[in-house]
Amino acid sequence: MDSVILAVHIVIAITLIGLILIQQGKGADAGAAFGGGGGGGGGASSTVFGSQGSGNFLSKTTAILATVFFVTSLSLSYLSGKLSSAKTESVEVLNKVEQIQSEDKPAVPVSASTPAETTDKPALPVE
């Protein structure tokens, strides 16, 4: 799940960079409205989106992508915190299990050849 959100996040970031670089500054709008900067003569009338259409379209698209970028950023942050707390809990459980296991072990290891109960009586000689 987090890898899908990360992939979407990266694609949106690259798209945002492209959209921001394509947009013109506010100072360039005045010159474009009067036909400055080109041999078309009509100025902004020859654009695909009309005189103000491209600016509005790019601005709206950038705003929508920026919102989605922030949402994916917050989602990734939430998932990262959730995963790190789960890892911390599992490490704490493992440490507790190791501590319990080390407390249960006897100080002197018991071998299989040692009888469970020893008697103080000497063994009788076999004739």
Interacting residues of 4 by C-beta distance below 8 A, sequence separation 6+: none
Q: Is the pTM of this model over 0.85?
A: no
How do the domains of the chain map onto residue ranges?
A: 2-101
Q: Of all residues in the chain, what percent carry a pLDDT higher than 70?
A: 57
Give the Cα separation of 51 and 15 in Å (integer).
24
Under 8 Å CB-to-CB from 83, ≥6 apart: which residues?
2
Confidence of residue 6 (pLDDT cuts 50, 70, 90): very high
Residue range 79-94, pLDDT digits in tens: 888 777 666 777 777 7
Dist CA 108 CA 60 (whole Å)? 75
Per-residue confidence at 114, pLDDT binned at 50, 70, 90? low
